[in-house]
Amino acid sequence: MASELKIEPIPAFDDNYIWLLSRNGSDACAVVDPGDDEPVREVLTKRGLKLKTILITHKHGDHVGGVAALKADWPKATVYGPAREPIPTLERRLGAGDVVELDELELSLDVLDVPGHTEGHIAYYAHGVLFCGDTLFACGCGRVFSGTFEQLSDSLRSLAELPTDTRVYCAHEYTMANIGFAKWVEPDNPDLAVREERVRDLREAGEPSVPSSLAEELLTNPFMRTDQPEVIAAAERWAGRELSSPAEVFTALRSWKDKDYD
């Protein structure tokens, strides 16, 4: 009988989370987006874990910077990542429809294309668990770097179709700041007020605010609520014109946050 999959954050840099996947009774593990090798090595060494798999969501240095050094220490580890991004350390190149079978962890992950933050960003999904890198954040979303606003809008809309009990493992602890902007957009959203209080308590206790649930994102994350009248009205007020599609509302919200908030 399989033990439960354990998913734990390894904090890195100022606000990154490298996700560690393991199971009790096995020394095999996987990590998602190891931007730094040192904190990963420290945890794996202390726990006697062997790195079998490295999963990459996109090309940015704070997600891939530790791959080469980890691979040197655990040469049998396999490095998976997005086919459409230039990442020299990749061994298996993935896109939508691919499935990653991690036999040691008894885990099968579906690959989703979620471009926008970068041009080839992918996410990994299995059994109500989503590793979405810098696409969807708790109460926010990634900036548009080498993708387009339309792509990121579409990607978030596709993630919104996943089961609402999906747990969202994003790659940064940005939640408190994101809630601040969400309150600009929807100052009267009661679910947002509840979330703010809960996240503040967690952060004051030194706990991560992630994973969140997709249900929670649909209730409080303005970037997942571009079809809601209050969100549309706020985006139109900022843009100073009528916005006729969710992608236009999304683009106004993302630009508003980029220019005026952070």
User: Is residue 58 annotated as a catalytic residue, yes or no?
Assistant: yes
Place of tokens 């969710």: 246
Selected range binding Zn ion among 3-11, 57-65, 201-209, 216-224, rule: CB under 5 A: 57-65
Selected range binding Zn ion among 58-66, 183-191, 201-209, 232-240, rule: CB under 5 A: 58-66
Which position among 52, 60, 195, 225 is part of the footprint of Zn ion (CB under 5 A)? 60
User: Is residue 121 annotated as a catalytic residue, yes or no?
Assistant: no
Candidates 33, 36, 37, 62; catalytic one = 62
CB 116 within 8 A of CB 152: yes
Query: In sequence order, what DSSP letters do the residues of the chain get, joined into one string?
Result: -PPPEEEEEEEETTTEEEEEEEETT--EEEEE--S-SHHHHHHHHHHT-EEEEEE-----HHHHTTHHHHHHHSTT-EEEEETTS--TT-SEEE-TT-EEEEGGGTEEEEEEE--SSSTT-EEEEETTEEEEETSEETTEE---SSS-HHHHHHHHHHHTTS-TT-EEEESB--HHHHHHHHHHH-TT-HHHHHHHHHHHHHHHTT-----EEHHHHHHH-GGG-TTSHHHHHHHHHHHTS---SHHHHHHHHHHHIIIII-
Interface mask toward Zn ion for 179-208; x: CB under 5 A: ------------------------------
Which position among 33, 37, 134, 248 is part of the footprint of Zn ion (CB under 5 A)? 134
User: Is residue 62 annotated as a catalytic residue, yes or no?
Assistant: yes
Closest separation in Å from C-beta 50 to Zn ion: 28
Closest separation in Å from C-beta 255 to Zn ion: 18
Candidates 33, 58, 121, 154; catalytic one = 58
Selected range binding Zn ion among 11-19, 130-138, 222-230, 243-251, rule: CB under 5 A: 130-138
User: Is residue 36 annotated as a catalytic residue, yes or no?
Assistant: no
Closest separation in Å from C-beta 117 to Zn ion: 6
Closest separation in Å from C-beta 121 to Zn ion: 8
User: Is residue 60 annotated as a catalytic residue, yes or no?
Assistant: yes
Candidates 63, 113, 121, 154; catalytic one = 63
By CB under 5 A, the residues from 91 to 110 that bind Zn ion are none
Closest separation in Å from C-beta 241 to Zn ion: 30
Please identify, using beta-carbon distances, which residue of 62 and 186 lies nearer to Zn ion: 62
* Main-chain dihedrals φ then ψ at residue 246, nearest 5 degrees: -55, -35
Active-site positions read 58, 60, 62-63, 117, 134, 172
Binding footprint of Zn ion on the chain (CB under 5 A): 60, 134
